[in-house]
Amino acid sequence: MYVAVKGGERAIDNAHAWLAEERRGDPSVPELSVAQIREQMALAVNRVMAEGSLYDPDLAALAIKQARGDLIEAVFLIRAYRTTLPRFAASSAVETAAMAVDRRISATFKDLPGGQVLGPTFDYTHRLLDFALLAEGLPAPAPGTPAKPQPVPHVTGFLNRDGLIEDAPHSEAVPPDLTREPMELPADRALRLQAITRGDEGFILSLAYSTQRGYGRTHAFVGELRIGQVAVEVDIPELGFAVEIGEVELTECETVNQFKGSRTEPPQFTRGYGLVFGQSERKAIAMSLVDRALRWKELGEDFTGAPAQDEEFVLMHADNIQATGFLEHIKLPHYVDFQAELELVRKLRAEALALQEAAE
Amino acid sequence: MTDEAYNFAYLDEQTKAMIRRAILKGIAVPGYQVPFASREMPMPYGWGTGGVQVTAACLVPEDRLKVIDQGADDTTNAVSIRKFFARTAGVATTERTVEATMIQTRHRIPEVPMKAGQILVFQVPIPEPLRFLEPREAETRKMHELEEYGLMHVKLYEDIARHGQIATSYAYPVKVEGRYVMDPSPIPKFDNPKLSCSPAIQLFGAGREQRIYALPPWTKVESLDFDDHPFKATKAAHDCDLCAAGDSYLDEVIIDDQGGRMFVCSDTDFCAGRRAKGHKGRLWAPEPEAAE
Please write the tens of the pLDDT for every residue from A24-79: 999 999 999 999 999 999 999 999 999 999 999 999 999 999 999 999 999 999 99
For residue B261, give the amino acid letter.
Answer: R
Q: Does B92 touch chain A (CB under 8 A)?
A: no
> Which residues on chain A are in Cβ contact (under 8 Å) with B10?
84
ipTM above 0.85, yes or no: no
Dist. CA B248–CA B111, nearest whole Å: 7
Name the helix (H) or strand (E) containing A322.
helix A320-328
Tell me the pLDDT of chain A (360 aa) as tens digits: 444 446 677 888 899 999 999 999 999 999 999 999 999 999 999 999 999 999 999 999 999 999 999 999 999 999 999 988 888 888 999 999 999 999 999 998 888 888 899 999 999 999 999 998 898 888 888 888 777 777 788 988 888 888 889 888 888 888 899 988 898 889 999 999 999 999 999 999 999 999 999 999 888 999 999 999 999 999 988 888 999 999 999 999 999 998 877 777 788 899 999 999 999 999 999 999 999 999 999 988 899 999 999 999 999 999 999 999 999 999 988 888 898 888 889 988 998 899 899 888
pLDDT score, position B289: 57
Which candidate in B40, B126, B170 is best for mutational testing of the A interface (most A CBs within 10 A)? B40
**CA atoms of A63 and A48, how far apart (whole Å):** 8
Residue-range domain boundaries for chain A: 9-82, 96-119+149-168+177-323
What are the beta bridge partners of residue B204?
B122, B213
Residues A78 and A54 sit within 8 Å (Cβ to Cβ): yes
Q: In sequence order, what are the beta bridge partners of B152?
A: none
DSSP letter (8 states) at residue B186: S
Predicted local confidence at residue B290, as pLDDT: 46
Mean pLDDT value across residues B201-213: 97
pLDDT digits (tens, 9 = 90+) for A233-283: 999 888 889 999 999 999 999 999 988 777 777 888 999 999 999 999 999
Model-level pTM? 0.89
**Angle B134-B135-B136 (CA atoms, 0-180°, nearest 5)?**
95
Is B164 within 8 Å of A351 when comparing Cβ atoms? yes
Is A80 within 8 Å of B41 when comparing Cβ atoms?
yes
Chain A residue nearest residue B289, CA to CA? A2
Q: What is the dihedral angle through the alpha carbons of B190, B191, B193, B198, rounded to the nearest 10 degrees?
A: 170
Q: How confident is the model at residue B221 (pLDDT cuts 50, 70, 90)?
A: very high
Instruction: Please say if B197 is a catalytic residue.
Output: no
State yes or no: is B58 an active-site residue.
no
As a whole number, mean pLDDT of residues B253-270 equals: 91
Query: Among B50, B71, B265, B273, which one carries the catalytic annotation?
Result: B265
For β-strands B201-206 and B119-123, DSSP reports them as parallel
User: Nearest chain B Cα to A79, which residue?
Assistant: B40
Q: Mean pLDDT of all residues in chain A?
A: 91
Report the Cα B258 to chain-centroid distance in Å. Answer: 34
Q: Give the other-Cβ count within 10 Å of B276's Cβ.
A: 9
A6: nearest CA partner in chain B: B74
**pLDDT value for A2:** 45
In this structure, of A142-156, B86-100, B133-147, the range with the lowest mean pLDDT score is A142-156
- The 3-state DSSP class for residue A187 equals coil
